[in-house]
Chain A
Amino acid sequence: MLSFILRRVVIAIPTIILISIFVFTLQKLLPGDPVLAMAGEERDPQVLEFLREKYRLNDPIPVQYLTWIGNALTGDLGISLRTNQPVLELIAQKLPVTIQLATMAMVFAMLIGIPAGIFSAIKKGTVVDYIANVVALSGLSIPNFWLGIMLILLVSVKWKLLPASGYVPLSEDPIRSITVMIMPAFVLGTALAATLMRHTRSAMLSVLSSDYVRTARAKGLVERRVILKHAFRNALTPIVTLTALLFGELIAGAVLTEQIFTIPGFGKLVVDAVFNRDYAVVQGIVLVTAVGFIFMNLLADVAYVLLNPRLRKQ
């Protein structure tokens, strides 16, 4: 097992290096001078030159890359060109926010998507099924930003039920933290709920027509037991796999949701950093994300091996 993990880690290293080189170069290809973007209206050429020197923007790109990766290896991701805050601190501040949003959105998606999928499979061809399908399709097709703004206008402005935007850390005020996050999590979760619903429905349909379900019914079991104990358990495997895959998508989807609801998370950090040409921040985020992703994949691989003894021999 240990050698398996080690092998995976060794394979991961060149991947991370490649990603970091790719992003670094890509960023330098972006039009727009970071120092100028940073200067805004105060474009004193002398100061601009000083800053270019200070942040080593005049060095050849390979040299810039080596300096950066060298520092990164010692845990120093540099400082934000815009606010002077250390990049690592910024990332540590923002990551929990997005994780909270993604988790809540996932809970929403599962709470809505899975029961809806089961119902529409059981009631296949009935009005319930059609309604569920139409709702699911709308969930997939309604753009996030539109739904977000509409919810803000309705729920916050008109009914004054939930705060319109912002963020409160869980540690500071758990109840308010969750209240503030309800609408964004709902918006982010709807599209996923729709995907989940469609998949649950098809998984359930295939299971419901299988022999053992017929046997269960023949034994005279109550319908509820047949569906939840026998059919759903077996349909769950593909759903769980899908849910795990969707989690990555959630983090990406958070970018837009965070913009609408002004949530100071990872997505907002990266978008603002790109617009401000805050190179150090963009690079730091990409590096952390890449490492995180590889780590998650590694965990998944390990979990598969643990769950499926047949894989261990390979």
Chain B
Amino acid sequence: MKLMKLTLAAALLSATTLGAQASELRIALQSDADVLDPDQSRTFVGRIVYTALCDKLVDITPDLEIIPQLATEWSFSEDGKQLTMKLRDDVVFHDGTPFDAEAVAANIDRSQNFEESRRKSELSSITGVEVLGSHEIRLDLADADATLMAQLADRAGMMVSPTAATKAGVEFGLNPVCSGPYKFKERVAQDRIVLEKFADYYNADEYHFDTVSYLPIPDTTVRLANLQSGDIDMLERLAATDLAQAEGDAGIQVASAVSLGYQGITFNVGNGDKADNPWGKDNRLRQALSLSLDRDAINQVVFNGAFAAGNQPFPPTSPWYSKDFPVPARDIEHAKALLAETGFPDGIDLEVQVPNTTIPLQLMQVVQSMASEAGIRISLVSKEFATLLSDQTAGDYTASQIGWSGRIDPDGNIHQFMTTDAGINDSKYSNPEVDTLLNTARTSNNQQTRKESYNAARAILNEDAPIVYLYHETWIWALDSAISGFTPYPDGMIRLKGMKKEEG
């Protein structure tokens, strides 16, 4: 009898616990995702959706260590040219297709050879794929590639169902089929992307919501208002200026992590005729601009101190940050002296193009006012982002306020910007020494060698200053206080594992 009572009590208890947990999670995103195909996708918010939808070969920890996800273990050969991976054997895609080494091979082939694929350059080091067993695979590389594991921890490592991909072709993104904890349910453009729990997920017990909805709400005030009114459960990218308001609300909790990216001013030093001006030719002027700025004050004024001041492509908290070049203190006299030295004792004009949105404009107005005290007269040309990007790529600019969302591996923040003829080196900076150092860092699997190469490159780049770095954004999430188990990651993703919401 007692046993029966206990059982009954336990059953009731578990029933109430179950009932008390919300089965739906609504997340507000800053913008709408683009096409939902990991191989074609380009947006940051798209990656947030994939975190629940598409598992990757490997994942990262908040400290950016690579950890297993679909691959359980891996090792590089002595020369770094072969990567052997063992795979989970209990995984199926959302359409029932089993996940195995053949599927991985098909995915790598798709990322490399599918015409629409944006992942080609990320996996360009892979020259061959060898299926060693049903759940073991070897990737052959042209050269050692220190960035490969980080690529496999992002979209290039996301595994889509080969059956569905072959069938849907370019249209895969309309109905994506992966192997993540949640599967695609529906999408209404600019309104919502809804995922539902995938019952056959190997680790389904760790995921506590039946459905997850991603709602694009571009206006930050409206995003926060929705959270405060209880229409959503969490939001990403809370504006730094709204932080105090969110923290003052008892129903809201705030989490943050310094991002992997940066914001700065890129100079045109060799991109067409427009580079032929004092700012493009004389690095001392660019140094003078850098010295005229108080980066901490910028952070305080524009971002309420919530972001991180910076002067390198990696935030000061990153292990890759070179400690030999700390964030410089403001030194107006030194800046003026540099101006005089370059033949501009009475000051000099500088035109900077800037995106026509609130934050960049505020930022540049503060920069403008600080620089003017050193005799640098900045005029701002605000452009709508698509135009700004076109002009920048075409070399039709002197200086441009732009940033980078950041990559897990340090290479992603520097190589493609600072090496000769690299894909997005819009400043067309070229220095053989920097090329050698950055290529060494890219092809070495030895952390020490990489660190030394980056430090040496920093010494040169600090002098040449083709990009004047300003700050690093902090990802700020605001969540309903009933939510537990959320861990902030520097990549800005929302990992749902272990997250719960207690109904109040």
Return chain A residues, CB-CB under 8 Å to B215: 166, 262
- A36 at interface, CB cutoff 8 A: yes
Stretch at the interface among B137-145, B382-390, B477-485: B382-390
Query: Among the listed stretches B100-108, B128-136, B223-231, which one makes contact with chain A, having 4 or more residues with CB under 8 Å of it?
Result: B223-231
Interface positions of A from 104 to 128, Cβ below 8 Å from B: none
Q: Are the C-beta atoms of A164 and B226 separated by less than 8 Å?
A: yes
Tell me which residues from 176 to 209 in chain B have a Cβ below 8 Å from any Cβ of chain A: 188-191
Q: A249 interface residue, CB < 8 Å from B?
A: no
Please provide the chain A residues from 136 to 175 with a CB less than 8 Å away from any CB of chain B in the complex: 149, 152-153, 156-157, 160, 163-167
In the docked arrangement, what's the CA distance between A182 and B393, Å? 45
The distance in angstroms between the C-alpha atoms of A84 and B172, with both chains bound, is 9
Interface centre among A45, A152, A259 (most CB of B within 10 A): A152
Chain A contacts for B115, CB-based, 8 A: 50, 54
Whether the pair B404, A41 counts as a contact (CB closer than 8 A) is yes
Contact B424 A43 (CB under 8 A): yes
Q: Of B116-124, B430-438, B496-504, which binds chain A?
A: B116-124
B423 neighbours in A (Cβ, 8 Å): 43-45
Contact B390 A85 (CB under 8 A): no
Q: Which of A41, A51, A54 has the most chain B CB atoms closer than 10 A to its own CB?
A: A41
Q: Taking the complex as formed, is A33 at the interface, i.e. its CB lies under 8 A from any CB of chain B?
A: yes
B188 → chain A closest CB, angstroms: 6
Q: How far is the CA of A149 from the CA of B221 in the complex (A)?
A: 8
Enumerate chain B residues within 8 angstroms of A33, measured Cβ to Cβ.
386, 389-390, 393
Closest A residue to B424 by beta carbon equals A43
Interchain CB contact under 8 A, A262 and B42: no
Q: Does B90 contact A (CB under 8 A)?
A: no
Given contacts A264-B189, A264-B191, contact A82 B116 (CB under 8 A): no
A99 at the B interface (CB under 8 A): no
Q: A276 an interface residue at 8 Å Cβ cutoff? A: yes
Q: CB distance B225 to A84 under 8 Å?
A: no
How big is the B interface, by class?
35 or more
Asked if B219 is an interface residue, CB under 8 A from chain A, the answer is yes
Q: Counting CB contacts under 8 A, is A211 at the interface?
A: no
What CA separation (Å) do A277 and B215 show in the bound complex?
Answer: 22
- Least CB distance from B15 to A in Å reads 27
Are the C-beta atoms of A83 and B222 separated by less than 8 Å? no
Task: Looking at the assembled complex, report how far the CB atom of A78 sits from the nearest CB atom of chain B, in whole angstroms.
Answer: 13
**CB of A242 within 8 Å of the partner chain:** no
Interface size on A, residues (CB 8 A): 48
Instruction: Indicate whether B218 reaches chain A with its CB closer than 8 angstroms.
Output: yes
Given known A-B contacts A37-B386, A47-B118, A259 and B170 have beta carbons under 8 A apart: no
Interface 1/0 per residue, A242-286 and B, CB below 8 Å: 000000000000000001111010001100100111000000000
| Interfacial chain B residues near A54, Cβ < 8 Å | 115-116
Q: Is the CB of B118 within 8 A of A42?
A: yes
Q: Could you tell me which residues of chain A, from 184 to 242, have a CB within 8 Å of some CB in chain B?
A: none
Partner of A83, one of B170, B189, B231, B424: B189
CB distance from B475 to the nearest CB of A (A): 16
B188 interface neighbour in A40, A41, A152, A264, Cβ under 8 Å = A264
Q: Is the CB of A165 within 8 A of B173?
A: no
Residues of B within 8 A of A41 (CB): 42, 404-405, 424
Q: How far is the CB of B316 from chain A (nearest CB, A)?
A: 23
* Residues of chain B contacted by A268 (CB below 8 angstroms): 190
Q: Is the CB of B32 within 8 A of A272?
A: yes
Find the B residue at minimum CB distance from A46. B120
| A272 in contact with B190 given A36-B390, A157-B229 (CB within 8 Å) | yes
Contact partner of B217 among A38, A47, A80, A165, CB < 8 A? A165
Given contact pairs A41-B42, A260-B219, A269-B190, A157 touches B225 in the complex (Cβ within 8 A): yes
Taking a contact as CB atoms under 8 Å apart, the answer to whether A277 and B386 are in contact is: yes
Query: A165: which B residues are within 8 A, CB to CB?
Result: 217, 222, 225-226, 231
Q: Are A82 and B35 closer than 8 Å at their CB atoms?
A: yes
Partner of A156, one of B43, B225, B391: B225
Known contacts A90-B189, A153-B225, A157-B225; is-contact A47 B389 (Cβ 8 Å): no
Q: Is B216 at the interface (CB under 8 A from chain A)?
A: yes
**Quick one: closest B residue to A272, CB to CB?**
B190
Docked Cα-Cα span, A261 to B218, in Å, equals 10
Which chain B residue shows the least CB distance to A145?
B219
Contact (Cβ within 8 A) A50 B231: no
Bound CA span A137–B306, Å: 42
State the CA gap A36–B390 with chains docked (Å): 7
Q: Are B42 and A160 in contact (CB under 8 A)?
A: no
Q: Please give the residue numbers on chain A whose beta carbons come within 8 Å of chain B beta carbons, in ascending order.
A: 31-34, 36-47, 50-51, 54, 80, 82-85, 90, 93, 149, 152-153, 156-157, 160, 163-167, 259-262, 264, 268-269, 272, 275-277
- With A164-B222, A262-B217 given, name 5 new contacts (CB 8 A): A41-B405, A43-B393, A93-B188, A93-B189, A166-B226
Binding site for A on B (CB under 8 A): 32, 34-35, 37, 40, 42-43, 115-118, 120-121, 170-171, 173-174, 188-191, 215-219, 221-222, 225-226, 228-231, 383-387, 389-391, 393, 404-405, 423-424
Q: Top 8 closest A-B pairs, CB basis? A: A32-B386, A264-B191, A37-B386, A156-B229, A264-B190, A31-B387, A32-B387, A157-B228
